[in-house]
Structures are given as structure tokens and as C-alpha cells.
């Protein structure tokens, strides 16, 4: 028997057929919404998800009768007990019975969870945090996402909105955040924040190598620009990287001090920097973490599953029930 994992994003839906070894043997994808356009009607999106599920099964070369469980990870506040998507700004949905709607179309029980939580669960089952009883997964992307695993289970709080690690404040009264607060970790440690920090440094340093890397256009700055300049020996790039990593470390140290997990798993595009990121990050964290003299310390690792984490985690949500 197989399980289906659905990763529902604001722009696309990715579906995978997952076998008993957590290998994805068939995939399919469909658009969710069109960039720059209002979100489509929720029922239309459910129709497309059902179509993608059936296509993924076909691509896997198996029968839908061989699908035992279906899980869905989606952005927003998700009540995993009722299957209700209570709110998702990215999808334009509020109090939408997402599980029931998909069950009507697929004739299977559908388990649902927040997408970041599902991805964290995937890493804990089959990725970099495999074997960890307690783990925290942090995604450094457009924002800073988080997923918390305690005793092998997803922790989502009493209202299913827990795990928003990016919205703890690390600089009181600091930079404005999209959530409405000031000084959130996300405003300093996201890829979006890194791009802004790079652009500001470039304006201060007209001779920086970063100008060559971006063809003299600030609009070409990416999350890699400062790291590439740093590796090329550029002083301004090195300063951006060091400051940015110190912000990541501040948040991670808070996470360690609160949860003391076995593992912290870092994902998102920035994690691809590998040791250029993790080596100095560990230096900052080791200097500041509480209980640094204890025999057991939290291990910081880079996520392994990439975009498949959400699919694998969603496919295994039945294990939570």
C-alpha cells in the first residue's frame, strides 16, 4: 500500500505517491493561483488537487485502490482535528473545510496540517532529523518558518497556530515585520531580509564586488549575492554575511534555550550555502547557548529533503492520529 502527500502552496500544488520506505515513486503538480491575480475559488483549487492526486498515482504506475492514506500540508492556521483551514491569507480561505472537500473528491480520509509542520515531520521521519525524539525545523525563505516536533509528534499549540518561530522578537522596537510587530526574527533572518541587507551595504560600498555580481543593478540582488562576494574575498560581502549569520544565530539560540531539542534542522534556499553558513553559525550559537557545558548538546544540521519534505511529511500525517 502507498500514501499520498499533498503540499499546497500559494502558487502551486505538488503531490507525491510515497511508498513504505518513504521514497516518492510518482509526482504531479498543478498551479494554485496566478501571480498578481486574486486567489481562485477554493472549490476550484480542490478540484485541481484531486486531479493532481490521480495523475500522481498514474505516474507512479499504481492503482488508486492501493492508496491507503492521504495527507495535506497547507499554509495558514489548520485545525488538524476538524480538518478545517481556519485562515490562510495566501490562499484567501477562512473557515474552509479542506479535509471534507477533498474527501468528497477522493473517497479517502484526508489528514491535514500546516505546511511548515508537515515539512518538519517529513525531516523527522526521513530526513536530517531522522531518529531525533525532539526536533525543531527552521526554514529560511521569503519568511522564517518553523515546525516543532516533541516526543515524535507535531506541536502546534492549543489553537493550531503554534510554531511561528519567525515572529519572536530579537530586536525590541526594530525593523517592521509583515505580521505587524517590530523586530521579529523574520525581519532579520529571512532571505528577504538578507537581500535588503545586501542592497543597503552595496549603496554604502560602491567598490564592492557585489556590484559586479549583479551587473550594477540592485534589482538583481539575491540571497546568494553576499555569500558569493564573501567567497571571492570581498570585505563588504563578508560583513553582510557575518551580520546576517549573527541574526540567524540569535534566533536559533533562543530556540535551543526554550526547547533544548536533539536536532535543529535548517532548510530553505539559504541552507544550500552549507558550511559557509553552518560553521560560523555554530560558533555564535556555542558561545551563547544556555547549558553549553552540558554533555548533550543540540545538533544543528542542514535539511536533506528539500521540496520533498512537505510531501513526505503530509503522506505520514495518519501516524499522528
Provide the CATH number for the domain formed by 135-303 in this structure: 3.30.420.40
Higher pLDDT, 143 or 312: 312
pLDDT at site 170: 98
Question: Among 158, 160, 159, 53, which residue's Cα sits nearest to residue 105?
Answer: 53
Long-range contacts formed by 237-240: CB under 8 A, 24+ apart: 237/201, 237/208, 237/209, 237/210, 239/201, 240/194, 240/197, 240/198, 240/201
Question: Among 113, 13, 91, which residue's Cα sits nearest to residue 55?
Answer: 13
- 182-192: per-residue pLDDT in tens? 999 999 999 99
Structural contact between residues 196 and 210, judged by C-beta atoms closer than 8 angstroms = no
pLDDT at site 315: 98
Q: What is the pTM of this model?
A: 0.90
Nine-digit cell at 244? 546576517
CATH 3.30.420.40 assigned to 2-126+308-320: yes
Average pLDDT along the chain: 95
Question: What is the arithmetic mean of pLDDT over 219-244?
Answer: 98
pLDDT at site 35: 76
pLDDT at site 38: 85
* DSSP designation for 98: H
Question: What is the arithmetic mean of pLDDT over 215-220?
Answer: 98
- 255-291: per-residue pLDDT in tens? 999 999 999 999 988 999 999 999 999 999 999 999 8
pLDDT at site 184: 97
- 33-88: per-residue pLDDT in tens? 887 788 899 999 999 999 999 999 999 999 999 999 999 999 889 999 999 999 98
Domain with CATH 3.30.420.40 in the chain: 2-126+308-320, 135-303
Amino acid at each position: 500500500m502507498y500514501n499520498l502527500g499533498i503540499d499546497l502552496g500559494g502558487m502551486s500544488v505538488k503531490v507525491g505517491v510515497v511508498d513504505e520506505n518513504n521514497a516518492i515513486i510518482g509526482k504531479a503538480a498543478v498551479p494554485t493561483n496566478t501571480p498578481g491575480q486574486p486567489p481562485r475559488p477554493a472549490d476550484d483549487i480542490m478540484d485541481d488537487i484531486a486531479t493532481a492526486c490521480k495523475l500522481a498515482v498514474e505516474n507512479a504506475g499504481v492503482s488508486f485502490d492501493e492508496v491507503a492514506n492521504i495527507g495535506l500540508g497547507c499554509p495558514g492556521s489548520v485545525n488538524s482535528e476538524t480538518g478545517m483551514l481556519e485562515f490562510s491569507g495566501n490562499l484567501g480561505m477562512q473557515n474552509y473545510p479542506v479535509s471534507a472537500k477533498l474527501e468528497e473528491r477522493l473517497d479517502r480520509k484526508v489528514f491535514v496540517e500546516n505546511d511548515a509542520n508537515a515539512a518538519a515531520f517529513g525531516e523527522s521521519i526521513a530526513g536530517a532529523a531522522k531518529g531525533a525524539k525532539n526536533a525543531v525545523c527552521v526554514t529560511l525563505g521569503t519568511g522564517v518558518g518553523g515546525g516543532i516536533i516533541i516526543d515524535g509528534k507535531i506541536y502546534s499549540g492549543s489553537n493550531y497556530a503554534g510554531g511561528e518561530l519567525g515572529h519572536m522578537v530579537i530586536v525590541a522596537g526594530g525593523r517592521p515585520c509583515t505580521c505587524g510587530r517590530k523586530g521579529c526574527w523574520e525581519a532579520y533572518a529571512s532571505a528577504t531580509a538578507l537581500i535588503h541587507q545586501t542592497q543597503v551595504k552595496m549603496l554604502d560600498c560602491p567598490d564592492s564586488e557585489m556590484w559586479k555580481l549583479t551587473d550594477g543593478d540592485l534589482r538583481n540582488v539575491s540571497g546568494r549575492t553576499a555569500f558569493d562576494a564573501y567567497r571571492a574575498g570581498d570585505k563588504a560581502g563578508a560583513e553582510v554575511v557575518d551580520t546576517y549569520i549573527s541574526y540567524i544565530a540569535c534566533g536559533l539560540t533562543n530556540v535551543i534555550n526554550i526547547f533544548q531539542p536533539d536536532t535543529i534542522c535548517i532548510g530553505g534556499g539559504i541552507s544550500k550555502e552549507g558550511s559557509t553558513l553552518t560553521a560560523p553559525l555554530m560558533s555564535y550559537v556555542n558561545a551563547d547557548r544556555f547549558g553549553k557545558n552540558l554533555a548533550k548538546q543540540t545538533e544543528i544540521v542542514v535539511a536533506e529533503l528539500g521540496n520533498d519534505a512537505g510531501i513526505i511529511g503530509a503522506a505520514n500525517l495518519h501516524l499522528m492520529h
